[in-house]
Amino acid sequence: MLFSLNVSFELLFRRHQQELLRFAGQYSNDEVAEDLVQEAYLRLIRQAQTEKIDNPRAYLYKITRNLSADYLRQGQIRSRYHEDSEFELEQVADPQPELDAEVEAQAKLQRCLDALDNLPEVYRHVFLLHRIDGMTYAEIGKALQIPARTVERYAAKALAHCFAKAHDSF
């Protein structure tokens, strides 16, 4: 059964490849058109594995048109940003921070961790649940059986404490 499926796709590919290339070529160069058509066939094969496709030729045209439209949109976005940003490649920021910036960031992190250790346990717990676990004040309040307004106050005090300690000088 799988063999006949492959044979029918091969026949479908031979039958419609050139017309799809011409169709996709309206929107792009030949190399891109080949990529778009190949991607359309791959999507057809994937889709045919899960559902019946009544008109494979129409499906291929639809997918090729959608892929071409996506390609054109991406090209417009790239050209817009290229026109807007007239800068040299050397002006792009290096993703690696300089050593002194990294050392300072590590020191701030350590001061913040030390500040967390110096907080009362309930403040630290609220801070971590909110900032690290992403819980809302209401969820924390319910879990700790305290009012959400109290949770908000604890979180604010913990954040202020950490912020102050992280920005202290050595």
- Could you tell me the mean pLDDT of each successive run of 10 residues in the chain, 170 residues long? 52 83 79 85 81 84 87 77 55 65 81 84 89 90 93 89 70
Would you say 153 and 145 are in contact if contact means Cβ atoms under 8 Å apart? no
Distance between terminal CA atoms of the chain?
73
Q: What confidence score (pLDDT) does residue 146 get?
A: 93
Q: What confidence score (pLDDT) does residue 111 get?
A: 82
Q: What confidence score (pLDDT) does residue 137 get?
A: 92
Whole-structure pTM value? 0.43
Query: Could you give the domains of the chain?
Result: 2-89 (1.10.1740.10), 99-166 (1.10.10.10)
Tokens 């594995």 sit on residue: 49
Q: What confidence score (pLDDT) does residue 140 get?
A: 92
Q: What confidence score (pLDDT) does residue 158 get?
A: 87
